[in-house]
Structure 1
């Protein structure tokens, strides 16, 4: 089932990642879920020690507005927002998507998010399904949880999203997939985020 998904990438102050991860795992996961938000994967970026990547999802845009208001106006965020915000340099790299959402099934293994910015989104989606998806599966790096941009109006403008982006993205377990030359179909070289599911520090 396709839902509304946010892929959020945060640039953090050096050395602040563990603080934010601890807050997420101890407070923000259960706090958001209590408000009606489905929290997906939370990841460290293996190529950037000061980047935090995570996903959350909502049944539709109307529900997104309602549950975000509930969480950000509620006691959990109010109690911990100052500490969370002090870890961040930038929290505005947010893609609004439609897809199944994603949470890594193997909590100990890395995953790769491949993000493509197609010149012609509909044509590229067809090319992906007819050619690229079968090729990825044949190479042992099958595409999981394929998402495309959602262009609905942002129903919670207090949190900006990247309105300029039109993407197709998917996740791969383990190694990064090798891709064919897609230069005639994309605005830029595909971005591949090598991600590791977060592990909470032991007390």
Structure 2
């Protein structure tokens, strides 16, 4: 089985992010997991106070539609959907992803925390041309991942677009996208800046690997800077 993941980015009404996070963390985490999903992490977007970002996974594509139907047709969502939807302007910015290689999915603790962390999570997105990406993914996993680990930011996951059709159309996903994503966590903002400085001083990165990666890209990379909520596993 190959895990399928959703990277979900919501645009919210001004001042409503903490309302949604409180509802999400208290009422919506365990019921989704009981329906067959795994909530990997939920975050405040540090660069946009009206953005909420979260990641959830499914054992495989075949079980995704079943799990979504079980939750969204069930009593918990029915009880809370009006309050949740009232916080949102847009919830359709969703990327459907899968691990880029056999050992590049998330391996997160089974116990869910319940305390606000002082941590930073980044999601770096590389946008690739249609139907490309095998060579990029192989290069990143084989060469870039160990270098990032050596420089203090071991990727917690390396992911790429799941090309299968969305089998639960009630929840749209972005179509025509082809991305590679890697996820990292840092103790704080300063630790992230120190990692960037180390990358800049690495000739292996600047002279060898970065040019090889860049030649594959359809446009410039994008990086999300995320603050985990109190109950996010990913932190």
Partner of 2:142: 130
TM-score scaled by length of structure 2: 0.78
Mapped contact 2:141–2:158 kept (Cα < 8 A): no
Aligned pair partner of 1:109 in 119, 128, 136 = 119
Kept after mapping to 1: 8 A contact 2:125/2:181: yes
Residues 75-116 of structure 1, C-alpha deviation per residue, up to 9 Å, x if partnerless?
Answer: 111111111111111111101011224759994311111111
Structure 1: runs of 5 or more not aligned: none
Q: What do the CA deviations read for 1:26-75 (whole angstroms, capped 9, x no partner)?
A: 11101211212111101111111111110111111221111111110101
Residue pair 2:33, 2:39 contacting (<8 A) in 1 also: yes
The CA distance in 1 between the partners of 2:84 and 2:95, in whole Å, is 20
CA drift of 1:188 comes to 1.6
1:159 and 1:59 map into 2 onto residues whose CA distance is 18
Aligned CA RMSD, in angstroms, stands at 2.1
2-structure distance, mates of 1:152, 1:163 = 10
- CA separation of 1:116/1:102 partners in 2, compared to 1, >3 Å: closer, same or farther? farther
TM alignment of 1:29-178, pairs within 5 A = 29-99=29-99, 100-101=105-106, 107-119=117-129, 120-174=132-186, 175=192, 178=196
Number of residues of Structure 1 aligned to a counterpart in Structure 2: 200
> What TM-score comes out, normalization by structure 1 length?
0.90
Find out whether 1:189 has 2:220 as its counterpart: yes
Which whole-Å CA distance do the structure 1 matches of 2:169 and 2:17 have between them? 26
State the structure with more CA Rg. Answer: 2
Give 3-state SS (helix, strand or coil) of 2:90's partner.
strand
